[in-house]
Structure 1
């Protein structure tokens, strides 16, 4: 009971220290509110109001039909230009796309020949270039086929593929981006808070006070883990309910309680990492550099940004040692697909095992650091 009391009192001390650190408090508030919202809404859902210029050398009903097919919200109203303006407009960045419909285009189409429309794409705008080129090809092919058939009806098909999109039927990026950003913030803030708590002890000279108190390194470390982990866990719950569900209108498919349990296990691992980095770094700038070196690979290679299946096999195997890999898989299963404990228990077990190893390594390093200071 005395050890538990020590851990509780030391954890409360961490709360008071964090309360006085206005910069970290503001970072927590921003990361789980504006940070999540901006990450979810910064990228457009699809092609949006792309600028397009059209050189119509045919001046036919078919070319007019093609031009009128490019409408908002995917495209801005097409700008009718002549051939001399095409290259200048692309060079000046006035048009993301430009079409050159050749003369006698309609006549060649009706004659069964295969005339060519030139499509120029400004690939410096990568987010729109790839998607927009596909849209233009699809729209053009559809309009030409319907013009040739002389009516807007689908031809009879022997078989038709019915596509049903589950879990995100409208393919909204915000549904994916908001939850993944919450996961990224959990990892980042837990490492920063525990590492900063340890460095703050060293800078304020309170480590020496702890050394003369009847507390063990295990109690000191557990106090930092539970207190900073609880701060991040509460911020996560508020972010999911207030920002993700209410502000962004993103539905949560599974149990928030099960997700928070998995997040608590993940925090056990990441807060241990933060303490380890806090023993290595001698100042907050050094801690920031260490976190950058570790955090970026954890976020990019864990499956939250790019599917793990598209990564090299060696990278996939290496990242199994990271708790974020299993946590991302767990979060996606629970929050998107409504998975229960019977499905996510392997991820929970893996996170627990990795967290135990990280905690043991951090405790060993922490004891060594305190022994050097004694």
Structure 2
């Protein structure tokens, strides 16, 4: 047993030295867990943030002033214009996304019960802001008009008052979701790339033949790659969580970091084995990249990191229970967002252990078969 552990340790150190001499992989790791995480947290396309809106107030009434004052940061950056020509010029120049024109006599018509119309021009080339922002503008205008009318007329109070309480993310900030989910997705992505690339690199350089004449077993070779590449990804994920998410983006983490890293280690056990299995199927790095596309898209899009699994078809939900990323996303969200303990997330932990063992056994069988063909 001591000899087996020594072989696994020394082979793992060899993998780390090989990675250290590969500047492309080092740059990929640094980018994946720094710039990629930061941009995912600050550039969510569906988030309405600092959207430029121009307001043309031709009514100059308390109601129009109330409407104009309702557009403020961080959702909007408002600027007031003096004429329709300025509004058209700003829209044509692309300096504004929304242009709200308040016609003269708006307050008079509203208080008299007559129909009143406001014009909202939208630059639809900025599709993400235009889609979400149009609804925001309509809600703000209607809300301000309703409140203004209720102060001048006797309205009937509604029998139900809905009180909204947002837990775990009271400000509904997309940054909190995007940054953490990017780390979770990158753990899967990078672990598969590193282990698969390490095996293909050895086969292309001929160093795998050197291992075949050494007193080591395929199990020891696989375990060395798993712990070495898994350790690199785990350290990178912890660094991104501490420096980028908590320090730079100021995103609060509610739960236990060691518990999350334990779950990440179980996920890495499964995904690194998957990377070795894909490397045994591919004959070159381009083929490995194509296989990665087929595997990573379902793993990331259907695991619950982008959309809730409950909104997916029942067949997809059941099939994705076999994927390690599904259970990793579940435990990561529970720990990092809701502060869950082991008594809550023990089921995903157990599922990851079972799935990882199965994938490791499958990869080991395929790896032995590949080595036998090369011998």
TM-score strictly above 0.5: yes
In the TM superposition, 1:181-260 aligns within 5 A as 181-260=182-261
Counterpart residue number, 1:134:
135
Supply the distance in 2 between the matched residues of 1:46 and 1:370 (Cα, whole angstroms). 50
Give 1:270 shift. 0.3
CA distance in 2, matches of 1:364, 1:371: 11
> Residues 255 and 71 from structure 1, CA distance in 2 versus in 1: closer, same or farther, beyond 3 angstroms?
closer
Deviation (angstroms), 1:303 = 0.7
Separation of aligned partners in 1, 2:282 and 2:165:
51
Counterpart residue number, 1:113:
114
Alpha-carbon displacement from aligned partner over 1:44-64 (angstroms, at most 9, x marks no partner) = 895333233445565655344
Aligned residues: CA RMSD: 2.7
TM-aligned CA distance change 1:246 to 1:70, over 3 Å: closer
Give the secondary structure class of the aligned counterpart of 2:100. Answer: strand
Shift in Å at residue 287 of structure 1? 1.9
- 1:215-364 superposed matches below 5 A: 215-364=216-365
| Mapping of residues 142-157 of structure 1, within 5 Å | 142-150=143-151
In the alignment, the residues of structure 2 paired with residue 275 and residue 237 of structure 1 have an alpha-carbon distance, to the nearest angstrom, of: 24
Deviation larger for 120-129 or 220-229: 120-129
Aligned residue for 2:297, secondary structure, equals helix
Contact 2:266/2:352 (8 A) holds in 1: yes
> 1:180 offset after TM fit, Å?
0.9
Instruction: Work out whether residues 15 and 227 of structure 1, in 8 Å CA contact, stay in contact via their aligned partners in 2.
Output: yes
* CA shift for structure 1 position 81: 6.2
Q: 1:79 Cα shift? A: 4.4
**CA separation of 1:41/1:86 partners in 2, compared to 1, >3 Å: closer, same or farther?**
closer
Offset, 1:65? 4.0
Q: Which runs of 5+ in 2 are unaligned?
A: none
- 1: distance between equivalents of 2:301 and 2:92? 34
Comparing 176-185 and 186-195, the one that deviates more: 176-185
TM-aligned CA deviation for residue 230 of structure 1: 1.4
**Change in CA separation of 1:135 and 1:278 when aligned onto 2, cut-off 3 Å:** same
> How do 1:29-178 residues align onto structure 2 when only pairs under 5 Å count?
29-43=30-44, 46-54=47-55, 58=59, 60-80=61-81, 90=91, 92-150=93-151, 158-178=159-179
Deviation string for 1:90-130 (max 9, x for gaps)? Answer: 45534322334445433321221232323333333233223
Change (3 A) 1:49 1:227: closer
Deviation at 1:151, TM superposition (A): 6.6
Q: Which moved further from structure 2: 266-275 or 37-46?
A: 37-46
Query: Which SS does the other structure have where 1:77 is aligned?
Result: strand
Q: CA deviation at 1:206?
A: 0.9
Q: State the alpha-carbon separation in 1 of the partners of residues 224 and 334 from structure 2.
A: 31
Give TM-score, length-normalised by structure 2: 0.90
Q: Does the CA contact (< 8 Å) of 1:146 and 1:152 recur in 2?
A: no
Task: Answer with 115-124 or 178-187: which moved more.
Answer: 115-124
Flag the 1:228–1:321 CA change in 2: closer, same or farther, 3 A.
same
Q: Distance in 2 between matches of 1:14 and 1:140?
A: 61
**Cα gap change, 1:184/1:72 in structure 2, threshold over 3 Å: closer, same or farther?**
closer
Structure 1: 5+ residue runs without aligned partners? none
Q: What TM-score, normalized by structure 1, do the two folds share? A: 0.90
Aligned mates of 2:242, 2:340 — CA distance in 1: 19
Output the CA distance in 1 between the equivalents of 2:310 and 2:44: 23
- Pair 361,141 (structure 1): closer, same or farther in 2 beyond 3 Å: same
The 1:329–1:251 alpha-carbon spacing in structure 2 relative to 1, beyond 3 Å, is same
Q: Which residue of 2 aligns with 1:15?
A: 16
